[in-house]
Structure 1
Amino acid sequence: MDEATVDSNGNTAAPVNTLNLFIGHLDGTQQGQPGSGINTFNNVLHINDPNPNSPNSQQPIDFTSNPIAVLELGSFEGSSAVFTSEFLLTHPNSYMHCVDMWSSQAYSSNPPSTIIGGVIRDSLEDGQAWNSFKSNLSKTPNGHKVQGIQTNTINFLTTMLSSHGGLEYPVYDFIYIDASHVKFDVLTDAALAWRLLKSGGVVIFDDYGGGEECGQGIDLFVAGLNKNDVKVLSRGYQLAVQKIQ
């Protein structure tokens, strides 16, 4: 999947490492943020781990040998969904749900308080982000396993809990949360999504270190869990936690 590139002088550059590019997005370094530099996906899932048998290496979490279900809250143009689909949806029966408003209102710099879901960005034309999302996923081998669901996160999560019985019938093996960054929206998304996470499953919260409200909401959620029910796997610009029970 990594291809060599040719610059304007005709020189061949080193292959582009898609994993590292996306981790740059995850840890904030590509946005000029003071990201922790922690390679969250490598640390947690041991993708491309150079020393998987090192004494300092955690036990890898295998999300590729068996079919898995993935949930992403807040997808925008699909860059994280493309990465996740390529690296985690390798089993024929794996699938991913992406939930986002995909509207200019949801991405405006001053979104109404009733809008939950989607990251805060400059306003854009309605449909632009959704079309980009579909286009980006169409170019990845596992894009057909990804379903975009246009609604706010609360509607989706409560509907799933009602349909699947929540605690009795958890659905997802891996959840990536990058939706609203308002403190109590983050807390609500996390609390509802946690009920849909299987035992042994992992949640990665983006922008844990990228904004006070977002980090506070995540901290409130984790603090409310029984310490025997959760294991912190990685803490930096993102926070990765595993559900133990």
Structure 2
Amino acid sequence: MTDKLCYEFTNNWFDLTAKKIWDSLIPQINPTRILEIGSFEGRSACYLIDHLAAYKEIELHCVDTWEGGLEHKQIDMDKIEKRFYQNTQNAISNAQNSVHLEIHKGYSDNILSKLLVEGKRGYFDFIYVDGSHQATDVLCDALMGFRLLRNDGVLGFDDYLWQEHLPYGVDPMRCPKPAIDAFTNLYCRKVSIISAPNCQLYLRKISD
């Protein structure tokens, strides 16, 4: 497995939220075709390359604008994007098997629409939603991601309980949870919930 020293990350968000879950979940679902919405510096993408390409070929699609959200105004996103490219290239160069990495720079609604038009409905084994924190954006990612996911595939959401610290309190339109809850309620007959800590939510698609 690739030595983490070859990577450059400026935060440990993934380690604090997803890593422990993925250590158990990823071997169980063993995805080959993966779609990641929101890539930032590539920490989760590198995890997937390290753990899956060690023993098989994988196809990984990463979607991001690298413009940042409302909460990233103080971050130099050009540097974030450069680190993503360097980190993922380091991971690929050390992988034991072929990694087909497709980088889609743009807004997720445009990119996911394009993937559907290209015939990738029901194509992906695992889709991870970790892009915009705006409720309307998260709901759009969920709805379109569901169509791109194969039956028995897994749809994961980061930041389920994330809230923005605003002077007037919590704005439900600027939180992922209302959108994720709306999606799971409306699709309750088409998905089953996979047990995980409340900071994230994972759903298995059981029917179209």
Q: TM-score with structure 1 length normalisation?
A: 0.67
State the 1:147 CA deviation.
Answer: 2.4
Structure 1: tracts of 5 or more residues without a match: 6-20, 28-37, 48-59, 110-119
Q: Map 1:44-123; keep pairs closer than 5 Å.
A: 44-45=25-26, 47=27, 60-63=28-31, 68-102=32-66, 106-109=67-70, 120-123=71-74
Tell me the residue number matched to 1:240. Answer: 202
Given residue 218 of structure 1, which amino acid in structure 2 is its aligned partner? I
Residues 1:40 and 2:8 are matched in the alignment: no
Which protein is bigger by CA-based radius of gyration?
1
Q: How does 1:179-218 map to 2 (within 5 A)?
A: 179-211=131-163, 213-218=175-180
1:90 shift after superposition: 3.9
Whole-Å Cα distance in 2 between the matches of residues 62 and 4 of structure 1?
Answer: 22
- Matched residue of 2:150: which SS? strand
TM-score, length-scaled by structure 2: 0.78
Q: 1:108 to 1:243 in 2, by over 3 A?
A: closer
Confirm or deny that 1:135 pairs with 2:60: no
Shift of residue 241, structure 1, vs aligned partner: 0.8
Q: Deviations over 1:132-179 (max 9, x none)?
A: 10111122124953222111100100111111163xxx1100111100
Q: Is residue 149 from structure 1 mapped to residue 104 from structure 2 by the alignment?
A: yes
1:117 maps to: none
Shift of 1:95: 0.9
Secondary structure of the residue that 2:39 maps to in structure 1? Answer: coil
User: Could you say which structure has the higher helix fraction?
Assistant: 2
Show structure 2 runs of 5+ residues with no match: 6-11, 164-171
1:224 is the counterpart of 2:154:
no
CA deviations 1:45-81 (Å, max 9, x no partner) are 3x4xxxxxxxxxxxx3333xxxx11000000111111
Please tell me the residue identity of whatever aligns with 1:156: I
Q: Aligned equivalents of 1:226 and 1:241: distance in 2?
A: 10
Alpha carbons 1:74, 1:99 under 8 Å: kept:
yes
Q: Which runs of 4+ in 1 moved over 4 A?
A: 2-5
CA–CA separation in structure 2 for the residues paired with 1:220 and 1:108:
22
Q: Which amino acid aligns with 1:199?
A: N
Whole-Å Cα distance in 2 between the matches of residues 100 and 4 of structure 1?
Answer: 23
- Distance, in Å, in 2 between the alignment partners of 1:237 and 1:81 is 19
Amino acid aligned to 2:109: I
* Deviation (angstroms), 1:190: 0.5
Give CA deviations for 1:96-146 in whole Å, capped at 9, x if unaligned. Answer: 0000001xxx3153xxxxxxxxxx423444532221101111221249532
Instruction: Give aligned-pair identity as a percent.
Output: 28
- Tell me if the contact between 2:61 and 2:102 (Cα under 8 Å) persists in the aligned partners: yes
CA distance in 2, matches of 1:83, 1:240: 18
Q: Distance in 2 between matches of 1:123 and 1:107?
A: 10
Aligned to 1:173, which of 116, 125, 129?
Answer: 125
Distance in 2 (CA, whole Å) between partners of 1:192 and 1:215 is 17
Residues of 2 paired with 1:233 and 1:39: CA distance?
14
User: How many residues end up aligned between the 2 structures?
Assistant: 186
The yes-or-no answer on 1:161 pairing with 2:125 is no
**In 2, distance between residues paired with 1:144 and 1:3?**
17
